[in-house]
């Protein structure tokens, strides 16, 4: 199978032909969530985008090792690199919990949300607190190589020395050291640094700090950026294929990761850097403090002033697919309504398609060629930097043709059996394998029991039919439900139903 594809590289700001380090294999690291609060929709946008990328790489036949970490230490308030409180430590202090209780609670919530959005689990999900020894080792390597220094028990990366010896610093974010100087805020501990743009890789813990480990320099904890350098190196090697995360992580997080990897291993961590764009709401940054935000639960239930009704997880996933991962995604009620229609249209076309049979045409007809060309284009769009909106557009060009074959506007004698088979396979592969959509047509989508209500009605009709000895109707109901993989169970408390 042809497994070539193009990927936009944030480092070179160009789309590039992908070349794996090892033929047939891909190592991909994506920065995971900081588990100190409920996962928000912006996070979901990023992780769903990488889920589609992961799924497409698998579809292309690659063996992918997908590493997505859990940040459970070191991420400080305001993304500071020293002098501020650790987000998890703070939450634990405020809630009077063990930091690991906070971590477990929000990690569970994150996993649940990923399952709801049908995102595949990564191959490895390492936690920063599980890799303290490795982080201490990397700090030592960076010190030994002359790119970090210790001050009062904390260790700082020497950005000036690194920038002078290597033009890698600032390349990803496009910032030069002078900008970095101006942008670095005046924080506590700043005076300890040789230069304001230096950043902490090991932080001495205040007496009140809850998360602390012994190290050669102090009882303290690792800097946020360090964990990703350490865990990506441990599980994917010193240089691996793809590193991902949201746009907001380019600086300082990813810039500093690159510096640390060079500082420790003398090489660049990843060949391709992939960044997703931000989720907006009604054209503005989604922000809790401005009241311009919505939680996934509010979206599902419709319990928010920003939307007219609830939307199901798959409608939201479909809505996300309608924008390219490098474009901003603007969440509006109108866009969600359109997404709902689009999702249903796609799933219905798939249902129609699966029931079509007996194509008898030849491969020479214009119609047959047109179908094949649209299929090819849909895959080409995916292989061109994972362009989901363009691939969807091609599938939607196929939808009226599929519906035409059903209602007789178009003839099954104009399409070959092989092409019809390929068309069916394409829809199946796109919908389920690549886009990761699930069929929700039978599920209660609005959380208001619509499905239960409908099923109770059907069960009542069947009951009456049986009471009237109308076996035709009652059998028809049972058989049709069986076809839809809904099983009726007659018990002593009445009839219940399950979806297989």
**Is residue 31 involved in binding Zn ion (CB under 5 A)?**
yes
Is the CB of 228 or the CB of 336 nearer to Zn ion?
A: 228
Give whichever of 250 and 466 is closer to Zn ion, judged by the CB atom. 250
Q: Rounded distance, CA 244 to CA 32, Å? A: 10
Q: Which of Zn ion, ligand AMP, none binds 228 (CB below 5-8 Å, type-dependent)?
A: Zn ion
Which residue, 148 or 228, is less far from Zn ion as judged by CB? 228
How many residues are listed for the chain in this entry? Answer: 500
Q: Which is nearer to ligand AMP, 224 or 367 (CB)?
A: 224
Stretch that binds ligand AMP, among 38-46, 199-207, 454-462, 476-484 (CB under 6 A): 38-46
Instruction: Give the count of residues interacting with ligand AMP (CB under 6 A).
Output: 16
Site of tokens 């030994």: 144
Between vectors from CA 46 to CA 200 and to CA 233, what angle results, nearest 5°?
45
CB of 123 to ligand AMP, least distance (A): 18
In angstroms, give the least distance from the CB of 275 to ligand AMP.
Answer: 8
Q: Which residues contact 475 (CB under 8 A, 6 or more apart)?
A: none
Following CA atoms 103, 109, 114, 117 in sequence, which dihedral angle do they give, to the nearest 10 degrees? -160
Distance CA 81, CA 222 (A): 10
The tally of CA atoms less than 13 A away on the side-chain side of residue 189 is: 22
Q: With binding defined as CB under 6 A, does residue 248 bind ligand AMP?
A: yes
The region of 37-45, 100-108, 186-194, 437-445 touching ligand AMP under the rule CB under 6 A is 37-45
Handedness of CA 319, 320, 325, 330 (dihedral sign): positive
C-beta closer to ligand AMP: residue 18 or 224: 224
Query: Which is it for strands 199-204 and 220-222: parallel, antiparallel or unpaired?
Result: antiparallel
Residue (of 37, 263, 22) closest to 164 by Cα position: 263
Q: Closest CB to ligand AMP among 228 and 399?
A: 228
- From the list Zn ion, ligand AMP, none, pick the one residue 315 interacts with, judged by a Cβ distance below 5 to 8 Å according to partner type: none
Tell me the residue nearest to ligand AMP as measured from the CB: 246
Give the interface segment with ligand AMP, choosing from 42-50, 142-150, 265-273, 419-427 (CB under 6 A).
42-50
Q: Give φ, ψ of 182 to 5 degrees.
A: -70, -40
> What is the three-state SS of 37-70?
CCCCHHHHHHHHHHHHHHHHHHHCCCEEEEEECE
Of 4-12, 40-48, 126-134, 425-433, the window that binds ligand AMP (rule: CB under 6 A) is 40-48
154 binds, among Zn ion, ligand AMP, none (CB under 5 to 8 A by kind): none
- DSSP letter assigned to residue 361: B
Contacts of 170 (CB under 8 A, 6+ apart): 163, 176, 177, 179, 180, 255
- The answer to whether 295 touches 38, Cβ cutoff 8 Å, is yes
Least distance (Å) from Zn ion to the CB of residue 209?
Answer: 21
User: What is the C-alpha to C-alpha distance for residues 39 and 384, in angstroms, rounded to an integer?
Assistant: 30
Site for ligand AMP in 74-93 (CB under 6 A): none
Among 26, 31, 76, 148, binds ligand AMP (CB under 6 A): 31
Of the two residues 332 and 473, which places its CB atom closer to ligand AMP in the complex?
A: 332
Q: Which stretch binds ligand AMP (CB under 6 A): 29-37, 169-177, 313-321, 427-435?
A: 29-37
- Closest approach, Cβ 119 to ligand AMP, in A, equals 13
- One symbol per residue from 210 to 239: x for binding Zn ion (CB under 5 A), - otherwise; what is it? ------------------x-----------
Stretch that binds ligand AMP, among 198-206, 242-250, 336-344, 409-417 (CB under 6 A): 242-250
Chain positions 383 to 442 lying near ligand AMP, rule: CB under 6 A, are: none
42 contacts which partner out of ligand AMP, Zn ion, none, CB within 5 to 8 A by kind?
ligand AMP
Rounded Cα distance between 67 and 270, Å, is: 13
The region of 275-283, 355-363, 413-421, 458-466 touching ligand AMP under the rule CB under 6 A is 275-283
Measured from the CB of residue 174, what is the shortest distance to Zn ion in angstroms? 19
Closest listed residue to residue 77, CA positions, set 155, 185, 152, 178: 185
Among residues 31 and 378, whose Cβ is nearest to Zn ion? 31
Q: Are 54 and 432 in contact (CB under 8 A)?
A: no
b/e 116-143 (16+ beta carbons within 10 angstroms → b): bbbbeebeebbbbbebbebbbebbbbbb
Q: Of the ranges 7-15, 39-47, 230-238, 376-384, which one interacts with ligand AMP (CB under 6 A)?
A: 39-47
Site for ligand AMP in 281-320 (CB under 6 A): 286
Distances (CA, A) of 478 to 335, 376, 474: 38, 40, 6
Distance CA 468, CA 413 (A): 45
Helical (H) or strand (E) element with 315 = helix 313-321
Residue count, binding to Zn ion (CB under 5 A): 2
- Among 10, 45, 217, 368, the residue binding ligand AMP under the rule CB under 6 A is 45
Which residue, 193 or 243, is less far from Zn ion as judged by CB?
A: 243
By the criterion CB under 5 A, which residues form the site for Zn ion? 31, 228
Q: Which residues bind ligand AMP (CB under 6 A)?
A: 31, 33-34, 42-43, 45-46, 71, 245-246, 248-249, 276, 278-279, 286
């Amino acid at each position: 199978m042809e497994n070539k594809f193009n990927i936009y590289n944030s480092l070179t700001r160009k789309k590039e032909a992908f070349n794996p380090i090892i033929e047939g294999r891909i190592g991909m690291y994506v920065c995971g969530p900081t588990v100190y609060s409920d996962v928000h929709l912006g996070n979901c946008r990023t992780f769903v985008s990488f889920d589609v990328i992961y799924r497409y790489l698998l579809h292309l036949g690659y063996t992918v090792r997908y590493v997505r970490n859990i940040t459970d230490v070191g991420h400080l308030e305001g993304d500071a690199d020293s002098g501020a409180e650790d987000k998890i430590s703070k939450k634990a202090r405020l809630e009077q919990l063990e930091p690991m209780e906070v971590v477990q609670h929000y990690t569970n919530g994150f996993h649940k949300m990923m399952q709801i959005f049908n995102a595949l689990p990564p191959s490895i999900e390492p936690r920063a607190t599980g890799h303290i020894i490795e982080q201490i080792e990397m700090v030592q390597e960076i010190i030994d190589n002359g790119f970090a220094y210790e001050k009062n028990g904390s260790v700082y990366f020497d950005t000036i020395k690194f920038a002078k010896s290597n033009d890698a610093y600032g390349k990803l974010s496009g910032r030069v050291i002078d900008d970095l100087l101006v942008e670095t805020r005046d924080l506590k501990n700043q005076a300890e640094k040789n230069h304001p743009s230096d950043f902490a890789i090991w932080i001495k813990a205040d007496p009140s700090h809850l998360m602390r480990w012994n190290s050669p320099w102090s009882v303290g904890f690792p800097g946020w950026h360090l964990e990703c350098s350490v865990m990506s190196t441990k599980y994917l090697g010193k240089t691996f294929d793809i590193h991902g995360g949201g746009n907001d992580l380019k600086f300082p997080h990813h810039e500093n990761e690159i510096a640390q990897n060079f500082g420790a291993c003398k090489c660049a961590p990843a060949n391709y850097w992939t960044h997703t764009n931000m989720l907006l709401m009604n054209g503005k940054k989604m922000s809790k403090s401005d009241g311009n935000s919505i939680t996934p639960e509010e979206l599902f239930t419709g319990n928010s002033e920003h939307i007219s009704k609830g939307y199901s997880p798959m409608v939201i996933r479909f809505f996300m697919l309608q924008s390219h991962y490098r474009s901003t995604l603007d969440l509006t009620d109108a866009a969600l309504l359109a997404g709902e229609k689009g999702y249903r249209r796609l799933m219905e076309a798939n249902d129609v398609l699966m029931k079509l049979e007996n194509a008898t045409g030849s491969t020479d007809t214009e119609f047959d060629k047109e179908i094949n060309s649209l299929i090819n284009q849909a895959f080409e769009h995916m292989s061109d930097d994972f362009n989901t909106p363009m691939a969807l557009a091609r599938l939607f060009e196929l939808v009226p043709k599929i519906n035409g074959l059903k209602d007789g506007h178009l003839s099954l004698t104009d399409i070959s059996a092989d092409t019809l088979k390929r068309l069916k396979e394409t829809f199946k592969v796109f919908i389920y394998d690549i886009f990761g959509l699930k069929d929700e047509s039978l599920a209660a989508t609005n959380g208001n029991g619509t499905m239960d209500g409908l099923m109770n009605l059907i069960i009542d009709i069947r009951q009456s039919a049986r009471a009237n000895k109308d076996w035709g109707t009652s059998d028809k109901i049972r058989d049709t439900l069986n076809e839809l993989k809904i099983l009726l169970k007659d018990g002593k408390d009445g009839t219940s139903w399950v979806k297989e």
